[in-house]
Amino acid sequence: MLLITGRPGSGKTTALRRAAERLPGWRLGGFLTEEIRERGERRGFRALTFDGRARDLARADWRLPARVGRYGVDVAVMDALADELDSRQAVDAWLVDEIGKMECLSRRFVSALRALLDGPTPIVATIALRGSGFIAEVKRHPRAEVWTVSSATRDTLPGAIVEWLASARRGATSHDEGATTRAAAVSGRRRRRPAARDE
Protein backbone atom coordinates (compact mmCIF):
# COMPACT_ATOMS: atom_id res chain seq x y z
CA MET A 1 0.00 0.00 0.00
CA LEU A 2 1.42 3.33 -1.08
CA LEU A 3 0.19 6.50 0.62
CA ILE A 4 0.79 9.90 -0.94
CA THR A 5 0.64 12.76 1.55
CA GLY A 6 1.51 16.43 1.62
CA ARG A 7 0.13 19.85 2.34
CA PRO A 8 -3.10 20.96 0.64
CA GLY A 9 -2.28 22.08 -2.88
CA SER A 10 1.03 20.22 -2.98
CA GLY A 11 -0.06 18.11 -5.94
CA LYS A 12 -1.25 14.80 -4.46
CA THR A 13 -4.35 14.50 -6.62
CA THR A 14 -2.57 15.68 -9.76
CA ALA A 15 0.16 13.09 -9.27
CA LEU A 16 -2.36 10.29 -8.83
CA ARG A 17 -4.37 11.40 -11.88
CA ARG A 18 -1.26 11.59 -14.06
CA ALA A 19 -0.15 8.17 -12.85
CA ALA A 20 -3.55 6.75 -13.83
CA GLU A 21 -3.16 8.25 -17.31
CA ARG A 22 0.08 6.27 -17.67
CA LEU A 23 -1.61 2.94 -16.98
CA PRO A 24 -3.36 2.02 -20.26
CA GLY A 25 -4.76 -1.49 -20.15
CA TRP A 26 -4.86 -1.61 -16.37
CA ARG A 27 -8.17 -2.35 -14.71
CA LEU A 28 -8.39 0.44 -12.16
CA GLY A 29 -10.80 0.62 -9.28
CA GLY A 30 -11.50 3.48 -6.92
CA PHE A 31 -11.98 7.17 -7.63
CA LEU A 32 -10.29 10.51 -8.08
CA THR A 33 -11.53 13.92 -6.97
CA GLU A 34 -11.55 17.34 -8.59
CA GLU A 35 -12.43 20.81 -7.42
CA ILE A 36 -15.75 22.38 -8.35
CA ARG A 37 -14.94 25.96 -9.31
CA GLU A 38 -17.35 28.77 -10.06
CA ARG A 39 -16.15 32.22 -11.16
CA GLY A 40 -12.64 31.18 -10.24
CA GLU A 41 -13.57 30.25 -6.68
CA ARG A 42 -13.49 26.75 -5.24
CA ARG A 43 -17.02 25.81 -4.31
CA GLY A 44 -16.72 22.10 -3.61
CA PHE A 45 -15.38 18.72 -4.62
CA ARG A 46 -16.50 16.13 -7.15
CA ALA A 47 -15.69 12.40 -7.22
CA LEU A 48 -14.78 10.78 -10.53
CA THR A 49 -14.82 7.00 -11.02
CA PHE A 50 -12.70 5.19 -13.60
CA ASP A 51 -15.76 4.15 -15.57
CA GLY A 52 -16.54 7.79 -16.30
CA ARG A 53 -19.13 8.71 -13.67
CA ALA A 54 -19.02 11.96 -11.72
CA ARG A 55 -20.88 12.91 -8.55
CA ASP A 56 -20.64 16.00 -6.38
CA LEU A 57 -19.34 15.04 -2.97
CA ALA A 58 -19.21 18.35 -1.10
CA ARG A 59 -20.27 21.93 -1.75
CA ALA A 60 -20.05 25.20 0.13
CA ASP A 61 -23.71 26.00 -0.61
CA TRP A 62 -25.08 22.71 0.74
CA ARG A 63 -26.77 22.95 4.12
CA LEU A 64 -26.18 19.41 5.28
CA PRO A 65 -25.58 18.07 8.79
CA ALA A 66 -22.29 16.47 7.76
CA ARG A 67 -19.73 19.24 7.34
CA VAL A 68 -15.99 19.66 6.99
CA GLY A 69 -14.98 23.28 7.26
CA ARG A 70 -17.31 25.37 5.09
CA TYR A 71 -18.44 22.42 2.99
CA GLY A 72 -21.57 20.35 3.38
CA VAL A 73 -20.76 16.71 2.62
CA ASP A 74 -23.18 14.28 0.95
CA VAL A 75 -22.37 11.13 2.91
CA ALA A 76 -24.72 9.11 0.68
CA VAL A 77 -22.42 9.80 -2.28
CA MET A 78 -19.44 8.63 -0.24
CA ASP A 79 -21.37 5.52 0.79
CA ALA A 80 -22.10 4.74 -2.87
CA LEU A 81 -18.42 5.11 -3.75
CA ALA A 82 -17.50 2.90 -0.82
CA ASP A 83 -19.82 0.15 -2.02
CA GLU A 84 -17.72 -0.10 -5.19
CA LEU A 85 -14.48 -0.58 -3.24
CA ASP A 86 -15.13 -4.30 -3.18
CA SER A 87 -12.06 -6.48 -2.65
CA ARG A 88 -13.73 -9.21 -4.74
CA GLN A 89 -13.62 -7.05 -7.88
CA ALA A 90 -11.19 -8.08 -10.60
CA VAL A 91 -8.99 -4.99 -10.71
CA ASP A 92 -5.25 -4.62 -11.16
CA ALA A 93 -4.92 -1.71 -8.72
CA TRP A 94 -6.98 0.50 -6.45
CA LEU A 95 -6.47 4.25 -6.68
CA VAL A 96 -8.22 6.24 -3.95
CA ASP A 97 -8.25 10.03 -3.70
CA GLU A 98 -8.39 10.56 -0.85
CA ILE A 99 -8.40 9.24 2.70
CA GLY A 100 -9.41 12.46 4.43
CA LYS A 101 -11.91 13.94 6.83
CA MET A 102 -14.73 14.13 4.28
CA GLU A 103 -14.37 10.54 3.15
CA CYS A 104 -14.07 9.24 6.69
CA LEU A 105 -17.52 10.60 7.53
CA SER A 106 -18.75 7.47 5.73
CA ARG A 107 -18.54 4.40 7.93
CA ARG A 108 -18.95 2.27 4.82
CA PHE A 109 -15.87 3.91 3.31
CA VAL A 110 -13.82 3.13 6.41
CA SER A 111 -15.01 -0.50 6.43
CA ALA A 112 -14.34 -0.91 2.71
CA LEU A 113 -10.83 0.50 3.00
CA ARG A 114 -10.01 -1.77 5.90
CA ALA A 115 -10.94 -4.76 3.74
CA LEU A 116 -8.83 -3.51 0.83
CA LEU A 117 -5.83 -2.91 3.08
CA ASP A 118 -5.75 -6.58 3.98
CA GLY A 119 -6.27 -7.77 0.40
CA PRO A 120 -3.71 -8.73 -2.27
CA THR A 121 -4.41 -5.94 -4.79
CA PRO A 122 -1.99 -2.98 -4.82
CA ILE A 123 -3.40 0.27 -3.43
CA VAL A 124 -2.23 3.82 -4.00
CA ALA A 125 -4.12 6.42 -2.01
CA THR A 126 -3.71 10.06 -1.22
CA ILE A 127 -4.07 10.77 2.48
CA ALA A 128 -4.35 13.87 4.62
CA LEU A 129 -1.09 15.11 6.06
CA ARG A 130 -2.67 15.42 9.48
CA GLY A 131 -5.55 13.63 11.09
CA SER A 132 -6.50 11.19 13.82
CA GLY A 133 -8.84 8.23 13.83
CA PHE A 134 -8.84 6.22 10.60
CA ILE A 135 -6.31 8.52 8.93
CA ALA A 136 -3.75 7.75 11.62
CA GLU A 137 -4.75 4.08 11.61
CA VAL A 138 -3.98 3.72 7.91
CA LYS A 139 -0.58 5.38 8.29
CA ARG A 140 0.28 2.91 11.06
CA HIS A 141 -0.70 -0.12 8.95
CA PRO A 142 2.24 -2.55 8.70
CA ARG A 143 2.01 -2.55 4.89
CA ALA A 144 1.92 1.23 4.56
CA GLU A 145 4.65 3.05 2.69
CA VAL A 146 4.31 6.84 2.92
CA TRP A 147 5.68 9.29 0.38
CA THR A 148 5.49 13.02 1.04
CA VAL A 149 5.06 15.22 -2.02
CA SER A 150 6.30 18.77 -2.27
CA SER A 151 6.61 21.34 -5.02
CA ALA A 152 10.17 20.15 -5.58
CA THR A 153 9.24 16.49 -6.10
CA ARG A 154 5.73 16.39 -7.54
CA ASP A 155 6.78 16.37 -11.21
CA THR A 156 8.58 13.04 -10.87
CA LEU A 157 5.97 11.48 -8.60
CA PRO A 158 3.59 10.09 -11.28
CA GLY A 159 6.37 8.02 -12.83
CA ALA A 160 7.46 6.74 -9.45
CA ILE A 161 3.88 5.70 -8.65
CA VAL A 162 3.66 3.77 -11.92
CA GLU A 163 6.97 2.08 -11.17
CA TRP A 164 5.80 1.15 -7.68
CA LEU A 165 2.57 -0.33 -9.08
CA ALA A 166 4.42 -2.31 -11.74
CA SER A 167 6.65 -3.78 -9.05
CA ALA A 168 3.68 -4.58 -6.81
CA ARG A 169 1.79 -6.14 -9.72
CA ARG A 170 4.68 -8.52 -10.33
CA GLY A 171 4.18 -9.70 -6.78
CA ALA A 172 7.38 -8.20 -5.45
CA THR A 173 7.45 -7.73 -1.70
CA SER A 174 9.75 -4.75 -2.06
CA HIS A 175 11.15 -2.56 -4.77
CA ASP A 176 14.27 -3.52 -6.62
CA GLU A 177 17.32 -1.35 -6.02
CA GLY A 178 16.53 1.03 -8.86
CA ALA A 179 12.97 1.59 -7.77
CA THR A 180 14.06 2.14 -4.19
CA THR A 181 16.56 4.77 -5.23
CA ARG A 182 14.01 6.59 -7.37
CA ALA A 183 11.31 6.44 -4.72
CA ALA A 184 13.65 7.85 -2.12
CA ALA A 185 14.55 10.72 -4.43
CA VAL A 186 10.90 11.51 -5.12
CA SER A 187 9.43 11.16 -1.68
CA GLY A 188 12.26 12.42 0.44
CA ARG A 189 11.70 9.46 2.73
CA ARG A 190 10.43 5.91 2.72
CA ARG A 191 8.76 4.24 5.65
CA ARG A 192 7.44 0.74 6.02
CA ARG A 193 6.07 1.26 9.52
CA PRO A 194 5.05 4.85 10.19
CA ALA A 195 5.36 5.98 13.76
CA ALA A 196 2.22 5.99 15.87
CA ARG A 197 2.40 9.76 16.23
CA ASP A 198 0.49 11.46 13.43
CA GLU A 199 2.38 13.78 11.09
pLDDT at 93: 97
pLDDT at 198: 34
Strand partners, 67: 72
Domain 2-187 superfamily per CATH: P-loop containing nucleotide triphosphate hydrolases (3.40.50.300)
User: Average pLDDT for consecutive 10-residue bins of the chain (199 residues)?
Assistant: 93 95 97 95 96 96 96 98 94 97 97 94 96 96 94 90 94 46 46 36
What are the extents of the domains in the chain? 2-187
pLDDT at 154: 84
